[in-house]
Amino acid sequence: MQNLEPIGMISDGSEIDKNDNGKIFVKKSTFNGLLIGAIILVGVTSFFAGSYTSNLNSNQVSAEDLDKAISKLELRLLQNQLPTKQAVEQVRISADNDPIIGNPDAPITIVEFSDFQCPFCARFHTQTLPLILEEYIEPGKVKLVFRDFPIQSIHPNALSASIAAECANDQSRFREMHDMLFEKQNDWNKLETVDALSMFSQYASSMQLDQKIFDSCLASGKHISEIKKDLDDGRDYGVSGTPGFFVGNDQIGFVELKGAQPFESFKKIIDAQLDS
């Protein structure tokens, strides 16, 4: 019997699961997953057949060249899985004016739709993001755009946490508040909302933000319309749970990743995109 590891949360409270072999299960997606696997297998087989025919009279192809070619083929297949009614080239996964972690001019963008109260989002930010930061974001190859997707129906403090992060962003301190909300998620996760708001105010104080400006922003719900826009955009892109990621840029298209995927899943896609 296979073991399923939960990696994400769907808006109805269901979990996105991954088995021991890395296969993702979202409700009735088992058949689709198998079909995609078959497509990749056929595509790779066809590619090798073509390569073999075209290189009969040449030296053998290097393993590195073959790995790159396979990565590009898989990347193209993944791009075609985007849950939209339009072709990938016609879809713009907007970064809007949301907070950016990394160099704004980085060639590859990870657009994340996230919920500060989602445990799987916290897992990504404490376990996977540090590796992405070290290998891609800090060297300027990738930037991460954080877009809010608070699932209020199951996470009653998520909207307030999003507002707190946006208010910190007004004082150019989004990253610090973002990290604190995820790292201390267990401290405010089950509090009454009024108590959670008080704790967010304490976080702002510990970060030495202008307390009066922050508290006024938090109390006014100043950024609710911006957060709603993130939610609406996410739904338009087919996001139904958290965390959800789109990796790429407008020129090469985007690949969707669902759930708190391991670093290797991001690395495979990013490396192929950087080589494209």
The pLDDT of residue 28:
40
Give pLDDT tens digits for 30-39.
333 333 333 3
| Residue 275 pLDDT class (50, 70, 90 cuts) | confident
pLDDT of residue 72: 52
pLDDT in tens, 178-205: 999 999 999 999 999 999 999 999 999 9
Residue range 222-247: mean pLDDT, rounded: 94
Q: How many helices (H) and strands (E) does the chain have?
A: 11, 9
243 closest CA partner among 155, 174, 177, 165: 155
Over residues 7-22, the mean pLDDT reads 62
Q: What is the mean pLDDT of residues 42-56?
A: 35
The arithmetic mean of pLDDT across residues 116-137, rounded, is: 96
Segments in 80-157 forming alpha helices (H): 119-123, 129-132
77: enclosing H helix or E strand: helix 63-79
Q: Which domains does the chain have, with CATH numbers?
A: 1-276 (3.40.30.10)
For residue 17, what pLDDT is reported?
A: 64
